[in-house]
Amino acid sequence: MDDVLVSMEGIDKSFPGVHALDNCRFELRAGEVHALVGENGAGKSTLMKILAGVYSKDAGRIVVHGREVEIHGPRAAQALGISMIHQELNLMPHLTVAQNVFIGREPRQTARAFLDENAINQATQQLFDMMRLKLDPRTKVADLTVAKQQMVEIAKALSYNSQVLIMDEPTAALTDAEIEELFTIIRQLRAKGVGIVHISHRLEELKQISDRITVMRDGRYINTVDTADISIEQIISMMVGRTIYESTPEVPENGDQETVLEVRHLQRGDELKDINFSLKKGEILGFAGLMGAGRTEVARAVFGADPVDAGEIFIQGKPVQLNSPKDAVRHGIGYLSEDRKRYGLALGMDVETNLVLASFRKFLGWLGWVDSKGTRATAEHYVEALAIKTPSLQQRVKNLSGGNQQKVVIGKWLTANTDILIFDEPTRGIDVGAKSEIYRLLNDLARQGKSIIMISSELPEILRMSHRVIVMCEGRITGELSAAEATQEAIMTLATQRTGMVEA
């Protein structure tokens, strides 16, 4: 067919100890959104990285615009009109937004050798206007939320005028409103004949945005189907090779338990305005709100990661000073960050080291000897308990698939055995099967008497898991709901309750 942009056939790829792709195929047409789905570690990112020139294939054929090609490196891919937005964002935090968009090919003023800031700022502004994105091109990337960083990556890919745009989990960190914006852009591109590969674990959105779906499992191609002809249940069973039993929402009983954490009048600039809440033993306290509502800021303040202007924190009724994450860990608080690359993992280190990182002191013996038997046994236990897909404990974490990296972060805090756990977007990028495993795990922890703060942008997750829900909007707590009161509508109403309306 002449509208085929790309076809891949018989693609094979092995890494040491892992047969990542086994005889895989994929086809992308002009003007289609083609979803690529599969469980964590199925090989989605690897297959697309081969197309984007990041990895070389061991075997197979790639045909682009009817011509067989060898793609040696990302620049070669770009020359063929292929751009990829990676799952783990690749921006330089210390540079501005515009510098990131134009990195490596800044338009230069003819007479001068250095790059023209004005020109790249203007060009970036034009891209943002087209995307209807409100963002100053001169902002430092380090100051952006994950969602905004994602938008910058998209602008960067658009700036290459690509015919093939691969997006590896672009919506994982976005709110519903931001996803709508992104889909508008995707539809515009599709109308212009761009072929878009959309990798996502949010299966509901595939129905909304994709034309075709390709399913992968354990490094193998399973099937390609028209989205219109298939149900989400059918996609799931192709993905996992069995039917998953989705249990009905389970909110375990939680009576009048003692308070383990109390936060009073926490204040910081415009970000945190008079935050008051308490957390009980054995409780899962959900934090809902739109992106930027201040939920992560609360978590970081409680974890001692950011200074506050005022406020008190009590643990087991005693006032504590948490000036650093170290203080927080010493007081039994663990924080699973929303941004695993920046705060959660030592990507260059192996699985075992990462798993015991937060609890290392436990394994230090006489004269500082490390109890390596202990670390190994602990790491083995959590690899099994969380079904982390890795060839060995010595694998570097950066070589794991995105979802498996997330599991390592969770495991890291479980080994630390803290009483209070703050989970910031715990299931982002996690496949359906692993998601229900993580839910079960959170419930188990609560039943064992751990107290959990769970920040999530996914309302079904908040509703399913929380004993109580705190809703934030613009740095302020706008309401607290019991499990019985918490509905999608009640939460959304509070989440959009602007300042001024709540001022009594």
Ligand X SMILES: Nc1ncnc2c1ncn2[C@@H]1O[C@H](COP(=O)(O)OP(=O)(O)OP(=O)(O)O)[C@@H](O)[C@H]1O
Q: How far apart are CA 202 and CA 192, in angstroms?
A: 25
Residue with tokens 């380090």: 142
Nearest to ligand X of 11, 182 (CB atom):
11
Among 26, 30, 33, 41, binds ligand X (CB under 6 A): 41
Which residues share a beta bridge with 63?
Answer: 7, 68
Alpha helices in 219-312 (DSSP H): 232-240, 295-302
3-state DSSP call for residue 489? Answer: helix
Q: At what angle do helices 372-385 and 402-416 cross, to 10 degrees?
A: 130
Alpha helices in 274-350 (DSSP H): 295-302, 325-330
Enumerate residues 86-145 that contact ligand X by CB under 6 A: 87
Q: How far apart are CA 205 and CA 207, in angstroms?
A: 5
User: Rule CB under 6 A: is residue 58 a binding residue for ligand X?
Assistant: no
User: Rule CB under 6 A: is residue 42 a binding residue for ligand X?
Assistant: yes
Least Å distance, CB 451 to Mg ion, is 32
Q: At what angle do helices 432-447 and 232-240 cross, to 10 degrees?
A: 80
Least Å distance, CB 83 to ligand X, is 18
User: Rule CB under 6 A: is residue 40 a binding residue for ligand X?
Assistant: yes
CB atoms within 10 A of CB 121: 19
Q: How far apart are CA 149 and CA 291, in angstroms?
A: 13
Quick note: the x/- pattern for Mg ion over 26-65, rule CB under 5 A, is: -------------------x--------------------
Enumerate residues 425-454 that contact ligand X by CB under 6 A: 431
Nearest to ligand X of 48, 263 (CB atom):
48
Least Å distance, CB 77 to Mg ion, is 17
Contacts of 438 (CB under 8 A, 6+ apart): 407, 410, 426, 427, 430
# of chain residues touching ligand X (CB under 6 A): 20
# of chain residues touching Mg ion (CB under 5 A): 4
Least Å distance, CB 347 to ligand X, is 11
> Rounded to whole angstroms, what are the CA distances from 154 to 62, 127, 184, 272, 479?
25, 10, 13, 30, 35
Enumerate residues 17-36 that contact ligand X by CB under 6 A: 18, 20
Enumerate residues 334-393 that contact ligand X by CB under 6 A: 389
Which residues share a beta bridge with 225?
Answer: 213
Nearest to Mg ion of 354, 404 (CB atom):
404
Least Å distance, CB 154 to Mg ion, is 17
User: Rule CB under 6 A: is residue 214 a binding residue for ligand X?
Assistant: no
3-state DSSP call for residue 409? Answer: helix
What does 400 interact with, of Mg ion, ligand X, none (CB < 5 to 8 A by kind)? ligand X
Interface segment toward Mg ion; rule CB under 5 A; list 2-10, 20-28, 82-90, 437-445: 82-90
Among 30, 35, 46, 151, binds ligand X (CB under 6 A): 46
Least Å distance, CB 189 to Mg ion, is 22
Quick note: the x/- pattern for Mg ion over 379-418, rule CB under 5 A, is: ----------------------xx----------------
Nearest to ligand X of 72, 361 (CB atom):
72
Nearest to ligand X of 45, 378 (CB atom):
45
3-state DSSP call for residue 271? Answer: coil
3-state DSSP call for residue 458? Answer: coil
Q: How far apart are CA 46 and CA 60, in angstroms?
A: 14
What does 202 interact with, of ligand X, Mg ion, none (CB < 5 to 8 A by kind)? none
Of 169, 236, 246, which Cα lies nearest the Cα of 460? 246
Q: End-to-end CA distance of the chain, in Å? A: 65
Quick note: the x/- pattern for ligand X over 383-402, rule CB under 6 A, is: ------x---------xxxx
**Chain contacts with Mg ion (rule: CB under 5 A):** 45, 87, 401-402
**Chain contacts with ligand X (rule: CB under 6 A):** 15, 18, 20, 38, 40-46, 87, 389, 399-404, 431
